[in-house]
């Protein structure tokens, strides 16, 4: 299901943002690309995603508007908030891949969000573990913080149906807020809308930048696989069977 167009999906998906972004390269179209370092090779500029030279993406030199050195800042200090202990699930819910896909498809259809995008987010957030709890207290498949879950009307974040419904509604809200700019919506999902608004873009947090790249990379992979399957199905459906004649 592709119901909406996401901005800068494939441009960002081509570049896995490094854990440490030493530079931010701004293209003439206004899009900012974090990288570890860069080098000019002939008439191209290579943006390297790590300290080595094995992984990079190239742009024509004329497309580069600016290169800025960006030190990796420490995460902003957070006030100590005593969260209540996460409730224990009443039962060990067994969720098969087919069950999860059905939940994601239903939620995606309700909010016009691509099911493969939801699956990519769930993979990055919890790896499909309905009982996952992060070190910050986020819970369930889509790792909802208790306050966010309450605001979304989620009574039990460990219930897959409630968690997926609430997480999808939240992502839909963020996509609407940031005019379907997927990178910004994902950054807000990870670091909070306040951080995105403060920095007028993806916050310069290594964790957030890596998260955005990871989700978009997985989303692109799933979309390419889906398109390949569709092409194969179309080719099989339109194939002309061989005609055999006997004398």
Catalytic residue among 23, 58, 125, 227, which?
Answer: 125
Residue 71 and residue 206 in contact, taking contact as beta carbons nearer than 8 Å: no
With beta carbons less than 8 A apart as the criterion, state whether 172 and 197 touch.
no
Tell me phi and psi for residue 139, to 5 degrees: -130, 150
CA-to-CA separations, 238 to 14, 82, 241, in angstroms, rounded? 33, 62, 9
Distance CA 31, CA 7 (A): 11
* 3-class SS of residue 206: helix
151 is catalytic: no
Rounded-to-integer distance, Cα 57 and Cα 38, Å:
10
Residue pair 21/70 in contact by the 8 Å Cβ criterion = yes
* Sheet strands side by side (includes 23-27): 32-35, 23-27, 64-69
The answer to whether residues 38 and 45 touch, using CB atoms and an 8 Å cutoff, is: yes
Rounded to an integer, what distance in angstroms lies between the CA atom of residue 53 and that of residue 56? 7
Task: Enumerate the active-site residues.
Answer: 125
């Amino acid at each position: 299901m592709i119901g909406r167009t996401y901005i800068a999906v494939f441009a960002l998906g081509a570049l896995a943002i490094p854990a440490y972004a030493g530079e931010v390269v701004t293209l003439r179209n206004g899009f900012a690309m974090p990288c570890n370092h860069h080098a000019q090779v002939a008439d191209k500029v290579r943006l390297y995603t790590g300290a080595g030279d094995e992984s990079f993406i190239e742009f024509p030199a004329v497309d580069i508007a600016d290169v800025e050195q960006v030190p990796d800042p420490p995460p902003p200090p957070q006030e100590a908030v005593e969260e209540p202990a996460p409730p224990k699930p009443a039962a060990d819910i067994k969720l098969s891949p087919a069950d999860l896909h059905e939940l994601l498809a239903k939620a995606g259809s309700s909010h016009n969000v691509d099911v493969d995008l939801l699956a990519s987010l769930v993979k990055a957030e919890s790896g499909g573990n309905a009982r996952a709890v992060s070190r910050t207290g986020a819970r369930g498949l889509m790792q909802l913080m208790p306050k966010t879950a309450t605001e979304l009307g989620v009574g039990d974040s460990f219930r897959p149906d409630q968690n997926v419904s609430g997480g999808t509604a939240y992502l839909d809200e963020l996509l609407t807020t940031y005019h379907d700019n997927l990178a910004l919506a994902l950054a807000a999902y990870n670091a909070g809308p306040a951080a995105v608004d403060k920095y007028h873009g993806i916050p310069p947090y290594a964790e957030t930048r890596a998260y955005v790249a990871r989700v978009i990379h997985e989303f692109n992979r799933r979309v390419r696989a889906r398109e390949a399957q569709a092409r194969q199905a179309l080719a099989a459906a339109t194939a002309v069977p061989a005609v055999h004649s006997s004398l």
